[in-house]
Amino acid sequence: MSNAERLRPHQHSTGVSRRELLQVGYSGLMGVGLAQVAGQRAVAAPRTPKSLVIVFLTGAASHHDTFDMKPDAPAEIRGEFKQIATSIPGYQICEHLPKLAERAHRYAVIRSLSHGDNNHLMSTHHVLTGEKQPGGFFDKVASRDDWPGYSAALQFLQPQNTGIPCGVNLPTFLREGPLTWPGQHAGFLGPNSDPWQITGDPNKPEFRVDALSLSPGLDVSRLGQRHSLLNEVNRQQARFGEAAQSLRLQNDQELALSLLTSSRLAEAFQLNRETDAVRDRYGRTTTGQSLLLARRLIESGVRVVQANIGRVQTWDNHGNIFPTLKNILLPPVDQGVSALLDDLQESGRLEDTLVMMLGEFGRTPKINAQQGRDHWGPCFFALFAGAGVRPGQVIGRSDEIGAYPVTRAFSPNDVGATVYHVLGIPPDTEVRDRLNRPVRLNRGDVIESLFTGAAV
């Protein structure tokens, strides 16, 4: 295969305006079928429950222009940015990530992630669930046949029963026109395991989450009275309509009630409880305040928070990649993720919280005619910190143009196995799909070098 064939980009164009969708109750879009749960395997909780913050760079950030730079490659490969030293001797990253460069001793970087797909939707499913999308094809939208996301599996296997959901996704829902990104919900495990979807910019003064706020004039004592009335209505309603739909309504109502009466969770959304200095440290941006909110949700007891950095495909820089990264995308991530790592470290929570930053794939080595980079699944990066990850290491290496790994390649399945390992769920746990067939939750291998520091 010639170099031209190897580097031929996958082109895409949606031509559709971007929209947000309020996703409390999102499961209705995906259908109301419940997963078959017979034979569910019990999983012992870890001695110290671990949490997860996913910093998802939706659209896929360029590894060449961030954490796997190629300064000795030709100009059409190396790009416009310079390298700067990090706190890891001999490792350099992009000049527009100075705060993360100073904190490289607090995280590990993998530069040899790889899979064989270049489609946003299918690749997002693969990365956010640890498994390939069943029956996947170009732009296959989300369905209840999909694999569950990490928080959904946690909710299914280790429900907290505290009134606090296992998973929250924020601040945007990945949907564009007719396309709904898979990997954001519980898939075949059913809507009762879906994470809560919060849409809204936490950087705006008017930010609030209606699902966690009492209506005017409604207090907790009156909620108890209404709950009794609600139970009676539901008992009567059970005589009518479809049983599955009624069950779903009752479950939503019970969860809504527990959320409303959980002051700990409701307070997590009140960012004004933080000092101006703390909020400024994260950055007065959607990215910065979303990461601050993620930290507060973890502190409130939410186990998995996914922060989508940017709207749908923000990092999908097919053109003008360098000014976009320099002026818009990299500075907020540098500031917000650095502040998150600092806070978790200082509070002692980094030991029990895995921070994982990645996109769905990488970008092509060769810069295109529009001064951008196209889709590239064969090689990309991820950053990991906390929860037993041995910090200050760089795992894996790509070739001289960042096209393919030259050391062991790790797949999204391996990322998934690693996440489940941290969350205290054996990756080989058996669950049942919608046809009641036993399936293994994950078929990857834990990336042991993240925790041992052994060379790969």
Number of Cβ within 10 Å of residue 47's Cβ equals 6
Average pLDDT over residues 89-102: 98
Question: pTM for the whole thing?
Answer: 0.83
Q: SS3 helix, strand, coil % of the chain, rounded to 5?
A: 35, 15, 50
Confidence of residue 224 (pLDDT cuts 50, 70, 90): low
Percent of the chain predicted with pLDDT > 90: 71
User: Order of strands, edge to edge, in the sheet holding 380-385?
Assistant: 196-197, 167-170, 304-308, 51-56, 353-358, 380-385, 108-113, 393-395
* 30-to-113, 145, 277 alpha-carbon distances in Å: 30, 10, 42
Residue range 214-227: mean pLDDT, rounded: 52
CATH T-level fold of 21-209+269-432: Alkaline Phosphatase, subunit A (3.40.720)
Q: What is the pLDDT confidence band of residue 21, given thresholds at 50, 70 and 90?
A: very low
Distance of alpha carbon 68 from the chain centroid: 21
**Which residues lie closer than 8 Å to 221 by C-beta, 6 or more apart?**
none
Note the maximum CA span of the chain: 73
Q: Which of 96-105, 115-124, 162-171 has the lowest mean pLDDT?
A: 162-171
Question: How far is residue 168 from each of residues 5, 98, 334, 395, measured CA to CA in Å?
Answer: 41, 29, 23, 29
Per-residue pLDDT of 400-409, as tens digits, reads: 999 999 999 9
Q: ω before 171 within 30° of 0 (cis)? A: yes
Query: Which of left, alpha, beta for 135 (phi over 0: left; psi -120 to 50: alpha)?
Result: left
**304-322 residues labelled b (16+ CB within 10 A) or e (exposed):** bbbbbbbbbbbbbbbeebb
Tell me the per-residue pLDDT of 231-267, one tens digit each, with 9 for 90 and over.
555 555 454 444 444 444 455 555 556 655 567 888 8
**Gap between the Cα atoms of 35 and 188, Å rounded:** 5
Give CA separation, 253 vs 226, 233, 268, in Å.
11, 12, 21
CA distance 22 to 20: 7
d(CA 264, CA 261) in angstroms, rounded, equals 9
User: What is the per-residue pLDDT for 214?
Assistant: 52
Question: Residue 69 gets which letter from DSSP?
Answer: -
| Chain position carrying tokens 């400024």 | 280
Over the stretch 180-207, which tens digit does the pLDDT of each residue have?
999 999 999 999 999 999 999 999 998 9
